[in-house]
Structure 1
Amino acid sequence: MNLIIEGINCFSSAFNKTSSFENFKRFEASYVLNALTLDRKEAIFAWLKLGLNENDTLQCSVTIGAMEPILFSQKVESIFDQRIEELEDAIAEKESDEKVVLKIIVRKSHKDEGNYLKLNIYSLEDFSDYLVKRNLKELASFLPNEFASEKPVNFNILHEVVPFRTNRFIFSQGYPVIDSDLQLDSESFDRMKLIEKRDKCGHFANASTMSYLPEDFHLLGNCQYKEIERVLKCLESFYLLVFLCDFSSVSSRLNVKMKGYKLLSQEFDIDRLKSAKTDELYLIYKWVYNEGNFSDKVGLARNLMSIHLKNDDLLELESGTVHSLESGYDIYLKENVKQYIEIKNKLSEFIQSSSDKANGVTKNMFTSMKNSLWGFVSFFLSVVFFRVITKGTVQGIVSDDILLIAYGIIGMSCILLWVAIQETNTDIVRFQKSYKSLKSRYKDLLDENDLNKILQNDKIHNEDVLHIKQKKTLYRNSWLMITFIMFIVVTGLWYLSSSNEDLDNNNSLPKATQSK
């Protein structure tokens, strides 16, 4: 049963179609009626109202011979009755050799049903003829600009049809019986994410006007309508090449370039795309754009595809190429795991080396402190030994001259302390810069979160820096304390020496007086 034919039968049971056309916006057909009758006026009016959504507008006109057409449309019944009267008068005046032409025009508009869009198709044959006659660039744009939404589209066919569908486009029967098995759910994926991936590793010159995916035209099941099937195959082939090649553009032909182990540059016309066998290509596309490292997968796919072609034709892939990709990627991942372990081991070595460097930073300060102390002690012991050897006693060990020299050594020790502190501070800064520089280089090799996990969010480095600062504080305080003690000891010995010398001088004066 056909909605249009049912309407024609209301005017005449015998007719011949002279022309017909249908696209996304309009259906138009003309018929020559062999016998015109108005016995079914009520059926005609009911037909004008039947089976249409509120966005479509149906008009029909009857022309007898050279007279003006009599128009019928979806209006109130009183106007319809007026047109019937006009037609009855025209029939009464009709000459036997005059033709009766019925012309049907439907202005179509899609309807938003919430989770999908619906567009009526009045003749799948005429609609497929329209698609077939479009050039490649027009066909690749597919839907008119009015279909701005990325929702699924239900082509509601108003005659008997065997339903078929792709992931996005559903061709279902809407008259005389609505297809109760219609499934409007589609495969769940992020369209924009897939398009962003495509643009990340390739350039499609017509991307602004053609935002379709290969899934949109991939048939899910069989299609009994060969012309429609060829159109969908053409579009699927078109977008598979766009999503897998480095560069693509379309004018009258599809131009693509792929940089693999071999550089491939090809052109495909619409007939070649319609006849393509895309099963292998579609499997590769799904594998590349599925989960995993997209950049690595698309690079590997382009390399292996370039050496698995028949006659260097991108639409003639060897069977099983996708399995070669999977095997190659497994090997690639194993190599990456090996490289990852090596990088992780190097990082562990770096962390250990960094801790050793942290110990070395304060070791220099400790060495300087030890040498300074040893120098002072050596000087002091030399003075003691010299005093014992020359005078036979340690009394008066620190003279004014010795005190001056000791103070000089203590002053030099303080200067060395300042130098050691400055050197340690500089080494701390260099130590931190070296760590940050190496961490920055490893960011190019590892995920930032993984790098932070390996480095324990800089915990060990921060502990090393804290260790250096604590050691620096300990050595500085020890150095100052030892220097202060040396100062007290030397000053005390000098004071005792001076006091003993004064006492000796005072004792010698009475003896001298008595002797006189």
Structure 2
Amino acid sequence: MQLITSLFKLFFGNIPSINKSEDIESFKASSSAALIKLPSKEQLITCLEGFPIRDSVILDIDLDENEPVTFYKNQDIQSFYDQVQTFIDIKDDNSIFTLKLTINKNCMNNKISVYCLESLKEYIHGLSLHGLLYTVNKLVSKNNYIYLLIQDNGTSFEMATQSIILTSEEAGHTQLTESINREKLISNRNSISNFINSSEYNLIPNDFYLIKRSADQDINELFDKICFIISTAFIADISKIHGDNQFYYRYNGYKTIENEIDYKVDTLNNSVVLFNIFSWIYNEGNLSDKIGLSRNMITLHHKVNDNETNLKDNTLNSILSGYEIYLKENVEQYIDIKNKISEFLIDMSQKSSELVRAMTDSIKNNNLLFLSFFLSIVVFNSLSENKFKDIFTKDITYISYGILFISMIYLIISIVITNIEIKRFQQQFFQMKELYNDILDEEDLKNIFKEDILNNDIKYIERKTVWWSIFWLFEIVLIFLTVVILSKFP
């Protein structure tokens, strides 16, 4: 107020009193006296330069019922002085001069001036619930955070939430904590709660939770009460603001709790506990699980007596304990699920080895067939008269060609069956992954069902299949050439 008082003293000297009022958008002051004097232009300019450049300063001087003379900051002073001098010249003994000061506040660099803290507090306390929320919403929705700077060197005051700081310029500015993701918080609220007035207020509990409490208990209690209301809007199943001061909410938990608060009358206790519950719910983890557990516990710890609403101090501890038990049960289920998946994946790897082993067994069987056939020919001929001469007769040669043809068909079928098994192998992997899609989150699915492992197993099968197929084919060709040569050149 020193700046304001200095301005009035320039015109009235020792002034009797100054009537003042202030809100977020403007400051108004007036005083009346029988005599007025014109300060020097330099004095007036120096005084006006003390006002922040972001604000518009308007002076009105009137005499009795005459039309007032108006002066705007940065206007020509001489013209203003000439008109005031006319008033001085025509005044009589019963005349009264009235000086009115109007300051239109403008927000610049997220800063708004406060000229009289007591007047602003009176204005804030006089607002209805709807009016206060509307005013704050207009501030923070445009700027996300705001500094209310007290323009009084004689005042040392500081109070801060995460988006609103009320402080004297002398005290400096409290550094805001990390910026708030307002849109995300509101979007999450809309997904789990039904706040009927969501389209009207872009507010969050952080706007009212005091991270630095002031020395003024009335201001602290006001912010605590609004913090309780907005936190409830983010936690309760249904809530709404209606009329000027009524707030209704309902919790559906172990019990159903319905309550209606009168902002001007009711006492709301433990807003800090409720804010901490809100912070825990909306911080990390599964939002649906947390909100369900919190509502259950709040309905057990919520008490309403006459015009007083209480939430027990240990409510958050009960919620955290319940959540630990819930997580433990979930972890056991999670470990069980992972073990089952691990067993499945191990079986998959074993199947890849079995597919390669099947191909190897096919070659062994094929070799056994060749060995049995050709050994029988050798043994049969060794027991005959000619012994080893003319082993590959025409009939045996044709039979050998037939066996080699069957072996070739067997090779092709083995390759086809192996490819079919590879595709089935892949299908089983992705089908199992799809089954757990609703149970595990996307990152878990990626970490557990690693497609790189699947691809490595498939490459292993394909590589072994190619090697054994080449060996098999080489064997067929070699035996075929041997039969041809021995049958042509006995």
Same fold per superposition (TM over 0.5):
yes
Contact kept, 8 Å, 1:164 with 1:172, in 2: the verdict is yes
Question: 2 CA distance for matches of 1:126 and 1:302?
Answer: 40
Contact kept, 8 Å, 1:164 with 1:220, in 2: the verdict is no
Answer with 52-61 or 385-394: which moved more: 385-394
Question: 1 CA distance for matches of 2:267 and 2:13?
Answer: 40
Note the alpha carbon deviations across 1:29-50, whole angstroms, 9 max, x for none.
454x3x4223563498368616
**Matching residue of 1:77:** 77
Alignment of 1:162-311 (within 5 A): 163-167=157-161, 168-173=163-168, 178-179=169-170, 181-192=171-182, 194-195=185-186, 197-199=188-190, 201-202=192-193, 204=195, 206-207=197-198, 210-225=201-216, 228-246=219-237, 248-252=239-243, 253-258=246-251, 260-262=253-255, 266-271=259-264, 275-290=268-283, 296-311=289-304
Contact kept, 8 Å, 1:261 with 1:304, in 2: the verdict is yes
Note the alpha carbon deviations across 1:218-245, whole angstroms, 9 max, x for none.
2345445455444423332232123334
Question: 1 CA distance for matches of 2:301 and 2:204?
Answer: 24
How far is 1:281 from its partner?
A: 0.8
Question: 2 CA distance for matches of 1:40 and 1:458?
Answer: 87
Question: 2 CA distance for matches of 1:439 and 1:361?
Answer: 22
**Matching residue of 1:461:** 454
Note the alpha carbon deviations across 1:120-164, whole angstroms, 9 max, x for none.
223334333433444433322334747622233123244854513
Contact kept, 8 Å, 1:244 with 1:302, in 2: the verdict is yes
Question: 2 CA distance for matches of 1:8 and 1:134?
Answer: 29
**Matching residue of 2:67:** 68
**Matching residue of 1:316:** 310
The reply on whether 1:41 has 2:39 as its aligned counterpart is: yes
**Matching residue of 2:477:** 484
Question: 1 CA distance for matches of 2:358 and 2:89?
Answer: 120
How far is 1:399 from its partner?
A: 3.3
Contact kept, 8 Å, 1:231 with 1:274, in 2: the verdict is no
Cα separation, partners in 2 of 1:399 and 1:15, compared to 1, 3 Å: same
**Matching residue of 2:350:** 356
TM, length-normalised to structure 1 = 0.78
How far is 1:491 from its partner?
A: 3.7
Aligned counterpart for 1:330 among listed residues 324, 345, 357: 324
**Matching residue of 1:88:** 88
Contact kept, 8 Å, 1:248 with 1:256, in 2: the verdict is yes
Cα separation, partners in 2 of 1:350 and 1:314, compared to 1, 3 Å: farther
Answer with 263-272 or 348-357: which moved more: 263-272
Contact kept, 8 Å, 1:257 with 1:263, in 2: the verdict is yes
Aligned counterpart for 1:421 among listed residues 415, 418, 421: 415
**Matching residue of 1:25:** 25
How far is 1:259 from its partner?
A: 5.0
AA matched with 2:107: H
State the secondary structure of the residue aligned to 1:127: helix
Contact kept, 8 Å, 2:145 with 2:164, in 1: the verdict is no
How far is 1:357 from its partner?
A: 0.3
Contact kept, 8 Å, 1:162 with 1:224, in 2: the verdict is no
State the secondary structure of the residue aligned to 2:143: coil
Contact kept, 8 Å, 2:54 with 2:107, in 1: the verdict is yes
Cα separation, partners in 2 of 1:99 and 1:88, compared to 1, 3 Å: closer
Q: How many residues align?
A: 481
**Matching residue of 1:511:** none
**Matching residue of 1:510:** none
Contact kept, 8 Å, 2:112 with 2:149, in 1: the verdict is yes
What's the RMSD between the two structures over aligned residues? 3.9
State the secondary structure of the residue aligned to 1:419: helix
| Structure 1 portions without partners, runs of 5+ | 500-516
Cα separation, partners in 2 of 1:232 and 1:157, compared to 1, 3 Å: farther
How far is 1:476 from its partner?
A: 1.3
AA matched with 1:124: L
Note the alpha carbon deviations across 1:44-78, whole angstroms, 9 max, x for none.
83686163112323333344433333434433331
Cα separation, partners in 2 of 1:127 and 1:296, compared to 1, 3 Å: same
Question: 2 CA distance for matches of 1:492 and 1:14?
Answer: 134
**Matching residue of 2:104:** 107
Question: 2 CA distance for matches of 1:183 and 1:80?
Answer: 38
State the secondary structure of the residue aligned to 2:113: strand
AA matched with 1:110: C
Contact kept, 8 Å, 1:12 with 1:37, in 2: the verdict is no
**Matching residue of 1:503:** none
Cα separation, partners in 2 of 1:325 and 1:452, compared to 1, 3 Å: same
How far is 1:410 from its partner?
A: 1.8
| Structure 2 portions without partners, runs of 5+ | none
Cα separation, partners in 2 of 1:120 and 1:402, compared to 1, 3 Å: same
How far is 1:7 from its partner?
A: 4.0
**Matching residue of 1:119:** 112
Question: 2 CA distance for matches of 1:59 and 1:347?
Answer: 76
Question: 2 CA distance for matches of 1:170 and 1:471?
Answer: 72
Note the alpha carbon deviations across 1:401-447, whole angstroms, 9 max, x for none.
33323322221221121111111111112223323443455566556
Cα separation, partners in 2 of 1:261 and 1:414, compared to 1, 3 Å: farther
How far is 1:86 from its partner?
A: 1.8
Question: 2 CA distance for matches of 1:415 and 1:154?
Answer: 89
How far is 1:472 from its partner?
A: 1.0
AA matched with 1:106: I
How far is 1:387 from its partner?
A: 6.1
Question: 2 CA distance for matches of 1:152 and 1:146?
Answer: 7
Cα separation, partners in 2 of 1:89 and 1:40, compared to 1, 3 Å: closer
Question: 1 CA distance for matches of 2:36 and 2:129?
Answer: 46
**Matching residue of 1:399:** 393
The reply on whether 1:140 has 2:140 as its aligned counterpart is: no
State the secondary structure of the residue aligned to 1:120: strand
Question: 1 CA distance for matches of 2:484 and 2:311?
Answer: 97
Contact kept, 8 Å, 1:372 with 1:413, in 2: the verdict is yes
Contact kept, 8 Å, 1:245 with 1:257, in 2: the verdict is yes
Question: 2 CA distance for matches of 1:248 and 1:405?
Answer: 91
